[in-house]
Amino acid sequence: MTNSSQGGPKQAGSIAGQGISVLEAGRLAPTVANRQPFRIVVLDAGSRREALERVYPRPWFLQAPIVICVCGVPQEAWVRKDGRSHLDVDAAIVMDHMILAATDEGLGTCWIAKFDMGAAREVFEVRAGEVPLLLTTLGRAADRPTPKQRRSLDLLVRRIR
Protein backbone atom coordinates (compact mmCIF):
# COMPACT_ATOMS: atom_id res chain seq x y z
CA MET A 1 0.00 0.00 0.00
CA THR A 2 1.28 3.43 -0.81
CA ASN A 3 0.25 7.02 -0.55
CA SER A 4 0.05 7.04 -4.31
CA SER A 5 -2.39 5.27 -6.58
CA GLN A 6 0.34 2.96 -7.88
CA GLY A 7 1.39 -0.32 -6.39
CA GLY A 8 -0.48 -2.22 -3.77
CA PRO A 9 -0.15 -3.67 -0.30
CA LYS A 10 1.72 -6.86 0.34
CA GLN A 11 -0.32 -9.57 1.99
CA ALA A 12 2.62 -11.07 3.90
CA GLY A 13 3.41 -10.07 7.44
CA SER A 14 1.16 -9.46 10.39
CA ILE A 15 0.21 -5.95 11.41
CA ALA A 16 -2.00 -7.04 14.31
CA GLY A 17 0.21 -5.73 17.11
CA GLN A 18 0.87 -2.44 15.40
CA GLY A 19 -2.78 -1.67 14.66
CA ILE A 20 -3.55 -0.86 18.29
CA SER A 21 -1.05 2.02 18.41
CA VAL A 22 -2.64 3.43 15.25
CA LEU A 23 -6.10 3.31 16.82
CA GLU A 24 -4.77 4.77 20.05
CA ALA A 25 -3.33 7.69 18.09
CA GLY A 26 -6.82 8.32 16.73
CA ARG A 27 -8.36 8.12 20.19
CA LEU A 28 -5.85 10.62 21.56
CA ALA A 29 -6.19 13.09 18.67
CA PRO A 30 -7.36 16.55 19.72
CA THR A 31 -10.87 17.59 18.78
CA VAL A 32 -12.71 20.88 19.26
CA ALA A 33 -13.73 21.19 22.93
CA ASN A 34 -12.53 17.57 23.36
CA ARG A 35 -15.92 16.34 22.13
CA GLN A 36 -14.52 13.37 20.19
CA PRO A 37 -17.45 13.31 17.72
CA PHE A 38 -16.14 10.31 15.81
CA ARG A 39 -16.19 6.54 15.65
CA ILE A 40 -13.48 4.40 14.09
CA VAL A 41 -14.55 1.27 12.23
CA VAL A 42 -11.84 -1.30 11.50
CA LEU A 43 -12.58 -3.76 8.72
CA ASP A 44 -10.52 -6.92 8.32
CA ALA A 45 -10.79 -6.87 4.57
CA GLY A 46 -9.90 -10.48 3.74
CA SER A 47 -13.42 -11.83 3.32
CA ARG A 48 -14.98 -8.52 2.24
CA ARG A 49 -13.09 -7.76 -0.98
CA GLU A 50 -16.17 -8.00 -3.21
CA ALA A 51 -18.12 -5.66 -0.95
CA LEU A 52 -15.17 -3.24 -0.72
CA GLU A 53 -15.08 -3.00 -4.49
CA ARG A 54 -18.44 -1.20 -4.31
CA VAL A 55 -16.95 1.31 -1.89
CA TYR A 56 -13.82 2.17 -3.90
CA PRO A 57 -13.05 0.05 -6.98
CA ARG A 58 -9.26 0.33 -7.18
CA PRO A 59 -7.19 -2.89 -7.32
CA TRP A 60 -4.63 -1.70 -4.73
CA PHE A 61 -7.46 -0.74 -2.34
CA LEU A 62 -8.89 -4.25 -2.56
CA GLN A 63 -5.52 -5.79 -1.62
CA ALA A 64 -5.29 -4.04 1.74
CA PRO A 65 -5.54 -6.36 4.75
CA ILE A 66 -7.29 -3.66 6.81
CA VAL A 67 -9.43 -0.68 5.88
CA ILE A 68 -10.30 1.93 8.49
CA CYS A 69 -13.33 4.20 8.26
CA VAL A 70 -13.59 7.36 10.36
CA CYS A 71 -17.23 8.21 10.91
CA GLY A 72 -18.46 11.52 12.24
CA VAL A 73 -21.29 11.89 14.73
CA PRO A 74 -22.94 15.22 13.85
CA GLN A 75 -24.96 15.40 17.08
CA GLU A 76 -21.73 15.33 19.12
CA ALA A 77 -19.79 17.88 17.07
CA TRP A 78 -18.95 21.38 18.26
CA VAL A 79 -20.73 24.08 16.28
CA ARG A 80 -19.51 27.66 16.12
CA LYS A 81 -21.97 30.54 16.76
CA ASP A 82 -22.28 31.15 13.02
CA GLY A 83 -23.52 27.58 12.55
CA ARG A 84 -20.26 26.10 11.20
CA SER A 85 -19.78 22.53 12.43
CA HIS A 86 -16.21 21.36 12.93
CA LEU A 87 -17.07 17.68 12.43
CA ASP A 88 -15.00 17.39 9.24
CA VAL A 89 -12.03 19.10 10.90
CA ASP A 90 -12.16 16.74 13.87
CA ALA A 91 -12.41 13.67 11.61
CA ALA A 92 -9.46 14.91 9.55
CA ILE A 93 -7.34 15.38 12.67
CA VAL A 94 -8.19 11.85 13.84
CA MET A 95 -7.32 10.36 10.45
CA ASP A 96 -4.11 12.37 10.23
CA HIS A 97 -2.96 11.15 13.64
CA MET A 98 -3.65 7.52 12.69
CA ILE A 99 -1.83 7.85 9.36
CA LEU A 100 1.18 9.45 11.06
CA ALA A 101 1.23 6.67 13.69
CA ALA A 102 0.98 4.02 10.97
CA THR A 103 3.84 5.61 9.05
CA ASP A 104 5.91 5.68 12.25
CA GLU A 105 5.22 1.94 12.63
CA GLY A 106 6.41 1.31 9.08
CA LEU A 107 2.91 0.68 7.72
CA GLY A 108 1.48 1.97 4.46
CA THR A 109 -1.73 3.99 4.25
CA CYS A 110 -3.74 5.93 1.73
CA TRP A 111 -6.18 8.70 2.70
CA ILE A 112 -9.41 8.24 0.75
CA ALA A 113 -12.29 10.71 0.65
CA LYS A 114 -13.70 9.85 -2.79
CA PHE A 115 -15.77 6.75 -2.14
CA ASP A 116 -19.35 5.54 -2.53
CA MET A 117 -21.10 6.78 0.61
CA GLY A 118 -24.04 4.36 0.37
CA ALA A 119 -21.80 1.33 -0.09
CA ALA A 120 -19.54 2.50 2.75
CA ARG A 121 -22.55 2.76 5.09
CA GLU A 122 -23.41 -0.85 4.35
CA VAL A 123 -19.95 -2.42 4.22
CA PHE A 124 -18.67 -0.65 7.37
CA GLU A 125 -22.00 -1.22 9.17
CA VAL A 126 -22.29 2.49 9.94
CA ARG A 127 -24.81 3.06 12.71
CA ALA A 128 -27.68 5.53 12.82
CA GLY A 129 -26.40 9.01 13.65
CA GLU A 130 -22.97 8.33 12.13
CA VAL A 131 -21.62 9.54 8.78
CA PRO A 132 -18.70 7.82 6.99
CA LEU A 133 -16.24 10.63 6.23
CA LEU A 134 -12.78 9.20 5.53
CA LEU A 135 -11.13 5.88 4.75
CA THR A 136 -7.57 4.63 4.87
CA THR A 137 -5.97 1.38 3.92
CA LEU A 138 -3.53 -0.12 6.41
CA GLY A 139 -0.87 -2.69 5.64
CA ARG A 140 2.69 -3.35 4.60
CA ALA A 141 3.74 -1.14 1.71
CA ALA A 142 4.38 -2.98 -1.57
CA ASP A 143 6.66 -0.20 -2.76
CA ARG A 144 8.06 3.13 -1.69
CA PRO A 145 5.95 6.12 -2.63
CA THR A 146 7.65 8.61 -4.88
CA PRO A 147 8.33 12.02 -3.35
CA LYS A 148 5.46 14.44 -3.91
CA GLN A 149 5.86 17.85 -5.47
CA ARG A 150 5.10 20.45 -2.81
CA ARG A 151 4.79 24.21 -3.02
CA SER A 152 7.49 26.26 -1.35
CA LEU A 153 6.87 27.88 2.03
CA ASP A 154 6.91 31.37 0.53
CA LEU A 155 3.83 30.42 -1.53
CA LEU A 156 1.98 28.91 1.44
CA VAL A 157 2.88 31.09 4.42
CA ARG A 158 2.09 34.75 4.96
CA ARG A 159 3.75 36.46 7.89
CA ILE A 160 2.17 39.53 9.47
CA ARG A 161 4.37 41.80 11.58
The 10s digit of each residue's pLDDT in 24-48 is 999 999 999 999 999 999 999 988 9
The answer to whether 113 touches 70, Cβ cutoff 8 Å, is no
Q: What is the pLDDT of residues 53-112, one digit of tens each?
A: 999 999 999 999 999 999 999 999 999 999 999 999 999 999 999 999 999 998 999 999
CA distance 158 to 22: 33
The answer to whether the pTM exceeds 0.85 is: yes
CA distance 14 to 19: 10
Domains, the chain, ranges and CATH? 16-156 (3.40.109.10)
- The size of the chain, in residues, is 161
pLDDT grade for 16, boundaries at 50, 70 and 90: low
Among 27, 57, 61, smallest CA distance to 119 is for 57
**Three-state secondary structure of the chain:** CCCCCCCCCECCCCCHHHHHHHHHHHHHCCCHHHCCCEEEEEEEHHHHHHHHHHHCCCHHHHCCCEEEEEEECHHHCCECCCCCECHHHHHHHHHHHHHHHHHHCCCEEEEECCCCHHHHHHHCCCCCCCEEEEEEEEEECCCCCCCCCCCCHHHHCCCCC
Among 26, 44, 31, smallest CA distance to 89 is for 31
